[in-house]
Chains A and B, each alone.
Chain A
Amino acid sequence: MEIAIISGKGGTGKSSISAAFATLNGEVVLADCDVDAANLYLLFNPSHEEEEVYIAGSKAVIDYSLCTNCGLCVSYCRFDAISLIDDKVSISEIACDGCVLCSRICPDNAITMVPNNKSMMYSGSFRNGKMVYGRLAPGEENSGKLVNMVREKAKQTAKANGLDTIILDGPPGIGCPVISTLTGVDKVVIVTEPTISGLHDMQRVMGIVHKFNLKAYVIINKYDLNTSMSTQIRKWCKESNIEIAGELPFDKNMVEAMVQKKSIIEFNPNINISKKIKRIWNKITNQKK
């Protein structure tokens, strides 16, 4: 079973809740799909048994010994990445989309494509099973392909080790990496918080969940920071036929656990919030699709 944890809004507690789910009972495969800001490895310090380079597209580079500064590439580029500065052709690495068109049309073969090969995928073991995570190099396009690679590896790892449960800690937002995290999963958990942004972003991410016809559960994290907003979220979920798996209070222990590099369950399984998380997990996993 693959369970994805997403939120729309960042910082609602996806990773802390994923970490708790991953340490509740039996061994699991934990996959960090937030490749742009991977964090779970900080808590679990997994062994690096395998690593793989991820090629995140390529960037156009000019060979000035061949370039005649004719400017043809400038007129073809639709990403405003190429300009003539003092009659010299210049490519902005930031704006280049890697479409290869300039390289194809250059009459002097002066443009080559250099692969972006600084992104990595790692897999190994942590104290409650196996872990897979990706780290996208800064500035690169988060196309969702690295997320796909992480998920594929997580599935293989689960199969090879006879593990049934794959927990996917998702990225914020609603773009391609989120879509890649969601496609084909068995269940989706949306972690929200009682703020206007939390509600708006949850509504936007539900648009994606509906497109893929997935079963979603909502967790209202830190519900007691604004109880009237929590009521509003509950109301919206009811009207939209979305099940609320549970509500968690604001608890400083969640931060303290992170500081000690533990999940809240490892920090103290007997406190109220840990018990609540366990109940939520049982509710989500005991229901059929």
Chain B
Amino acid sequence: MIKIAIASGKGGTGKTFIATNIFYTLLQNNYKAMLVDCDAEAPNDTAFFDAELTESNEVTQQVPVINIDTCTFCGKCHEYCNYNAIFILPPMKIIKVIEDLCHGCGACSVACKFGAISEKPVSLGQVALYSINGLPSLIEARMNIGVMSPVTVIKAAIKQIDNNADFIIMDAPPGTSCPFIQTVASADYVILVTEPTPFGLSDLKQSVETLKKIDKSYGVIINRTGLGNSSVQDYLFKENIPLLLEIPFKKEIAGLYSRGKIVSESDSSFAVQLLTVAENISKQYGNSNNKR
């Protein structure tokens, strides 16, 4: 088994394109593969498959409920809350929970010595399980609109991974902050997808620095070569970072993708390239001593 995260610092470089196409190609080659859409703010992977929803679970977080009758307005909960989620005006006997700011850490419940704080679950999003051709193979993390951070929903999706699969492909959220880290932390290998432009290079460098810090193995796919310049190739060569694949810019690819079509379905040489990349990674890093 191997968990491969598909990530990129910059948005729109082709993470979902690569993730869905590798996943499709693996299924076509009779591997047991799972696709996990960890881009909970903007999940789109299901659009590329004839996927049937089999199960959907609510992801919740505990938020405090304050009983005004037993509250003494001592302010201890406000002091314990590190997220400014409890608003208190003792002289006016006003105390309010700002649920949007609450991280559900439970510190306020610990702080209250008067038993005035209970907790209730609030929804952050859903983790849905989909079947493709009758096999459960796609997990989607979807954050509710208006929720501040996708991290809890992403973690819940990762927990649902079936570790008996040959390949787990994780489509990561953009950036290098918390949501990205939560996704790649559980992967054995990270494929960074970039584009050959100054923006692509800058965000790639930032991703590489982050992966070095957490000691992950990684390689790079350059998407839309032919546009832009060769500075990404030069950087990879200089830093001795594996270049896994270059995908030339073609309007036909962009067109197929825009309609929710899998390119490797009709382009067999592209399918072979992706399969080779995935199999090589699996040979080298599969069943590794992943610490998590």
By a beta-carbon cutoff of 8 Å, the part of chain A in contact with chain B is: 8-12, 15, 36-37, 39, 42-43, 57, 76, 78-79, 94, 97-101, 104-105, 136, 138-144, 171-176, 179, 193-198, 200-201, 204, 207-208, 211, 222, 225-226, 229, 250, 252, 255, 258-259, 261
**Residue among B47, B143, B185, B251 making CB contact with A196, cutoff 8 Å:** B47
| A154 CA to B80 CA, complexed, in Å | 33
Residues on A with beta carbons closer than 8 Å to the beta carbon of B32? none
Is B118 at the interface (CB under 8 A from chain A)? no
At the interface, is chain B mostly helix, strand, loop or mixed? loop
Residues on A with beta carbons closer than 8 Å to the beta carbon of B257? 195
Q: Mark B126-153, 1 if CB is under 8 A from A, else 0.
A: 0000000000000000010111111000
For the complex formed, measure the closest distance between the CB of B186 and the CB atoms of chain A, giving whole angstroms: 10
Residues on B with beta carbons closer than 8 Å to the beta carbon of A229? 258-259
Asked if residues A37 and B9 are in contact (CB atoms below 8 Å), the reply is yes
| A144 CA to B150 CA, complexed, in Å | 13
Asked if residues B177 and A138 are in contact (CB atoms below 8 Å), the reply is yes
| A258 CA to B232 CA, complexed, in Å | 14
For the complex formed, measure the closest distance between the CB of B146 and the CB atoms of chain A, giving whole angstroms: 6
| A230 CA to B10 CA, complexed, in Å | 24
- Quick one: closest A residue to B105, CB to CB? A99
Asked if residues A208 and B145 are in contact (CB atoms below 8 Å), the reply is yes
Residues on A with beta carbons closer than 8 Å to the beta carbon of B107? 99-101, 104
Asked if residues B178 and A141 are in contact (CB atoms below 8 Å), the reply is yes
The interface size bin for chain B is: 35 or more
4 extra interface residue pairs, beta carbon distance < 8 Å, beyond A42-B199, A138-B176:
A9-B12, A39-B10, A94-B185, A173-B173
For the complex formed, measure the closest distance between the CB of A171 and the CB atoms of chain B, giving whole angstroms: 8
By a beta-carbon cutoff of 8 Å, the part of chain B in contact with chain A is: 9-13, 16, 41-42, 44, 47, 62, 80, 82-83, 103-107, 110, 143, 145-150, 173-178, 180-182, 185, 195, 197-199, 202-203, 206, 209-210, 213-214, 227-229, 251, 254-255, 257-260
Residues on A with beta carbons closer than 8 Å to the beta carbon of B41? 172-175, 204
Residues on A with beta carbons closer than 8 Å to the beta carbon of B202? 37, 39, 42
For the complex formed, measure the closest distance between the CB of B217 and the CB atoms of chain A, giving whole angstroms: 17
Asked if residues A142 and B229 are in contact (CB atoms below 8 Å), the reply is no
| A140 CA to B229 CA, complexed, in Å | 31
For the complex formed, measure the closest distance between the CB of A219 and the CB atoms of chain B, giving whole angstroms: 15
**Residue among A101, A171, A196, A208 making CB contact with B106, cutoff 8 Å:** A101
Asked if residues A12 and B42 are in contact (CB atoms below 8 Å), the reply is no
Asked if residues B210 and A99 are in contact (CB atoms below 8 Å), the reply is no
Residues on A with beta carbons closer than 8 Å to the beta carbon of B214? 94, 139
